[in-house]
Chain A
Amino acid sequence: MFKGLFLFVFLSFLTFRAGDVQAGAPEQRQTLSLLGGVRMGASFQEQSWNYREYAPGFVVGPHLAFHFVHTRHVRLGVDGGYLFFARDIDAGTDMLRMETRYHRFDLNAVATVEFRAFAAGISAGTGIMLFSTDTRYEEEDRVELREHTGVQAGFLGGLSLGAEVGRHWWKLNRSVYLMARSDWLRRGGRDEFTLCFLASIEITSKKKTQK
């Protein structure tokens, strides 16, 4: 359960060290940036009764990224996000129903490469899944209800591709990024793939300029 969390911490150490090196390099212009926005898309969760079939579901949630290394072509930082989705697949019979709601919190170390308006990134970290299940069983006049919540953490890896459309194309004074992002969550022996579209606004502040 803790593997993903430790991996996130480990990768964060590495990126912080990389940030230190970048900050000390000559001819290096560096800024801090904060991106916030929303993402929505589809999640494909491995079916428990057949682990090569995936159940699709709509997901939506906010995300926030902090880039503490921001050079002309490279960004390094951390990214956090939340996704919600509910699942009601093969949920039982009339007398036995089960519904599950998922709240996913992502913590990633991210590295992004930019060329002109285009950006491509990779991320790795941990996904923390909060479950909430409601089960109802009715037999004759008796009804049994069960509600459970639980937490499970797993490894999270992702790829993203997109463009800065605000400043480059629309001449805004704020950067607006549109990205497509796919990620893979491995938890409890099960896989889950998510394909999202992100719309983010970036706030940038100059941190350091060396000549």
Chain B
Amino acid sequence: MTHPSAIRLLIVLLSALLCACDGVGADVEILTYDQATDSYTFQIVTVETLTDIDRLEGRATALIGGTSMRLDYTEGMVKWDRVGRPVSFGAMKSDGVYYPEDFASLAMISTYYNIERAMRFFAILGLPEGDLGRLDTYYLADVVEIYADPFTGQVDEIRGRDNAFYLAVDERTRGFYILPLETIEHLPLAMNIGVIVHEYAHAVFQHLVYDRMADGGAGLNSTAYNYIYSLNEGVADIMAVMHTGDPDFMTHSLDDSWAARDASALILYRPSYDTNAMTYVDLSFDPYEIGAFISAAVYEATRRMDGLSPLEAGIPGETLRTDVAASVLDALRATGGEDLSDFTPALFFDRLISRLDPDRAAHLCSVLRARYAIHYGDLAGCL
């Protein structure tokens, strides 16, 4: 090989090396929540757990695109038409910062960052990173739900839109699903940190409660199942509110029809909640009534622990919110280890009260005395 040829080959090899030196983690500009102004603003953030930025893969999650599946509730089956493939993050890099090149890339890196923050949040609360195993995120998944009307029996199909959810029918389906936008005019759900922490909390709930049951909860009577389902939604909302400090985190993405989920609202537990839990089965049951009550009660108690009166506006401090969230996680862990065949929300509240120091427990009992009056007598920790 002559000298000029060797030099040219060396140049090509060196240039190939230059291309292959992207490290772990990245600084990215995304739209993210600012609690001080209760709004989303563009900020440069560090995404720390990425191992492959081109494919948005890392310890927090791996984004998959092009997924197509059918959730057939009539047969209790998941049918994959197409599992999907890793995504391809498009960005321009300037002064070490990645700027998303298109809307989907902005949404996807925001999703990854939000899941990473959720993972870190739960690690601070006491759930080690990696305990949940691999959790993929199916971005813009085409999900068709097939269900039978509980009253007429008529089978119908709905193509999912404007939603994000956690699904864990089996190990293969386990992950987060971000559905296409159709009518949402505000902040996309995947960019809403509250929504992502909410969904991540479902994965934690699965790990701490459902996975510890003999058959994943399938053998429970429908009433206990409905109460646990409601607790799942309630805890997910609590975690989102405690992480963001935004009791109405949904409002950035969804319109006023979701105001019933505002944790700062005064929600009283009504006898109809129990009637509904005892009457309806499976998809016909609405878990958000009791779930919203649980999150609003815990949020109001946290406000009072921080010295805020019921009539005073204000958000409890971050340290206190994290402490309370850690107690909620601990209570959930304790609840999941018990026989839940006669579960009611009172059992969870009792486990939570026992994990709070007496002063804080007194505030929670005070709130529950007013809002959970019909079952207050079941709360051994408050009596």
Chain A 1-18 per-residue mask, 1 if CB under 8 angstroms from chain B, else 0: 111011101100100000
Which of B15, B16, B31, B65 interacts with A137 by CB under 8 Å?
B31
Q: Is the CB of A50 within 8 A of B12?
A: no
Contacts of A91 in B (CB 8 A): 102-103
A132-152 CB contacts (< 8 Å) to partner B: 133, 135, 137, 139-140, 142, 144, 146, 148-152
Instruction: Report B9 CB to chain A, min CB distance, Å.
Output: 9
Chain A 39-70 per-residue mask, 1 if CB under 8 angstroms from chain B, else 0: 00000001111111100000000000000000
Which of A93, A131, A135 interacts with B181 by CB under 8 Å?
A93
Contacts of A51 in B (CB 8 A): 65, 85-88
Task: Name B54's closest neighbour in chain A (CB-CB).
Answer: A189
Q: Is the CB of B39 within 8 A of A47?
A: no
Known: A10-B12, A53-B66, A150-B92. A87 touches B102 (CB 8 A): yes
A85-142 CB contacts (< 8 Å) to partner B: 87, 89-98, 100, 131, 133, 135, 137, 139-140, 142
Q: Is the CB of A48 within 8 A of B88?
A: yes
Q: Is the CB of A144 within 8 A of B99?
A: no
Q: Is the CB of A92 within 8 A of B8?
A: no
A190 within 8 A of B: yes
Q: Number of B residues contacting the other chain (C-beta, 8 Å)?
A: 49
Q: Which of B185-193, B197-205, B293-301 lies at the interface with chain A? A: B185-193
| A105, B61: Cα distance in complex, Å | 36
Which of B14, B88, B106 interacts with A47 by CB under 8 Å?
B88
Known: A2-B19, A50-B87. A148 touches B104 (CB 8 A): no
B257 within 8 A of A: no
Q: Is the CB of B185 within 8 A of A93?
A: yes
A188 within 8 A of B: yes
Q: Is the CB of A3 within 8 A of B92?
A: no
Known: A50-B65, A189-B54. A9 touches B11 (CB 8 A): yes
B42 within 8 A of A: yes
| A140, B38: Cα distance in complex, Å | 11
B93 within 8 A of A: yes
Task: Name B185's closest neighbour in chain A (CB-CB).
Answer: A94
Chain B interface, DSSP helix/strand/loop, else mixed: mixed
| A7, B32: Cα distance in complex, Å | 40
Instruction: Report B84 CB to chain A, min CB distance, Å.
Output: 7
Instruction: Report B93 CB to chain A, min CB distance, Å.
Output: 7
B236-259 CB contacts (< 8 Å) to partner A: 252
B276-331 CB contacts (< 8 Å) to partner A: none
Contacts of B54 in A (CB 8 A): 188-190
Contacts of A9 in B (CB 8 A): 11
Task: Name A131's closest neighbour in chain B (CB-CB).
Answer: B92
Which of B18, B87, B91, B187 interacts with A96 by CB under 8 Å?
B187
B139 within 8 A of A: yes
B40 within 8 A of A: yes
Instruction: Report B68 CB to chain A, min CB distance, Å.
Output: 11
Contacts of A1 in B (CB 8 A): 18-19
Known: A1-B19, A93-B188, A95-B186. A48 touches B87 (CB 8 A): yes
Contacts of A148 in B (CB 8 A): 29, 92, 94, 99
Contacts of B181 in A (CB 8 A): 90, 93
Q: Is the CB of A142 within 8 A of B91?
A: no
Which of B11, B40, B187 interacts with A93 by CB under 8 Å?
B187
Contacts of B4 in A (CB 8 A): 13
Contacts of B93 in A (CB 8 A): 150, 152
B376 within 8 A of A: no
Task: Name B14's closest neighbour in chain A (CB-CB).
Answer: A6
B173 within 8 A of A: no
Contacts of A146 in B (CB 8 A): 29, 42
Q: Is the CB of B90 within 8 A of A190?
A: yes
B108 within 8 A of A: yes
Q: Is the CB of B15 within 8 A of A6?
A: yes
Contacts of A137 in B (CB 8 A): 31, 40, 42, 187
| A190, B54: Cα distance in complex, Å | 8
Q: Is the CB of B8 within 8 A of A10?
A: yes
Q: Is the CB of B102 within 8 A of A190?
A: no
Q: Is the CB of A47 within 8 A of B65?
A: yes
Instruction: Report A156 CB to chain B, min CB distance, Å.
Output: 14
Q: Is the CB of A46 within 8 A of B187?
A: no
B18, B42, B101: most-surrounded residue (chain A CB, <10 A): B101
Q: Is the CB of B188 within 8 A of A92?
A: yes
Contacts of B31 in A (CB 8 A): 96, 137, 144
Q: Is the CB of A135 within 8 A of B106?
A: yes
Q: Is the CB of B89 within 8 A of A48?
A: yes
13 A-B pairs with CB atoms under 8 Å apart are A1-B18, A6-B14, A13-B4, A13-B8, A47-B65, A49-B108, A50-B66, A96-B103, A97-B103, A133-B101, A144-B41, A150-B93, A190-B90
Q: Give the A-binding residues of B (Cβ under 8 A).
A: 4, 8, 11-12, 14-16, 18-19, 29, 31, 39-42, 54-55, 65-66, 84-94, 99-106, 108, 139-140, 181, 184-188, 191, 252
